[in-house]
Structure 1
């Protein structure tokens, strides 16, 4: 049985889509007792350059991310996300709607104010069914899972938001 999983990952503002194919794995009450997913949510048997191996590495990554994002200076956008002043430069007119313009044999997307608009990322969101990981009966494949608890004094209470609809059988994807 082939299972294919897709993951959308944001790396430094660029979005990448990865597929993971898993063959001949049976999960459930009678599954092999071996662990498949490490405490950081990564496949145990997979090796890759950016794989987190310790809490200290994860803390270093958080620090590096803070430094990286603190030094980013994003451009100024108009209220629709277009490049201010570009409409005037290229001769585009505001129409009040997103629209397509031709310029030197190129097709360009223009925002309602008449400015150039470029979109890279999620351009539509719709309901495609439940997106969660069923945990109940598969706990043995995880190296670690937070305890589902309604007691605020429990150390794992902070992870309750990861559970879909406060249901201890499902984790949000």
Structure 2
């Protein structure tokens, strides 16, 4: 069977389909690969507009465009920017950290913190962020900097990216 599955970006989605009997099987495997529920996956012939039905025979399809109605985790980007600014007059340095979660170039989440270092030591807030391997969760831990400059972190928070996208009007 030669069935080509394409993401909206045009990239091919590699899924083992040798024993797939129906489009329902294909949809379930694609959903597992994308890390979403099978109900969130729609497949449309690349040269058509009608959604392929679950009961359709796999051999009757050629190339399909896969639409992940939840979200496409490949469009998620985490952008972290750090900078510092020294003030000789005040003999201090300000440190800035901004983290942004982008979906297809649109910002869906942002965190900004700053710290100062002067003759009294460090003080301020900081954070660390990272994405889960599946691209479904954003982990953020934040904390305070004390004099010695070592962060005292609060418990890490897991944020579901799907909820962030829904708040911003994405599916």
State the TM-score, normalizing by the size of structure 1: 0.18
State the TM-score, normalizing by the size of structure 2: 0.18
Larger RCO of the pair (alpha carbons < 8 Å, separation 6+):
1
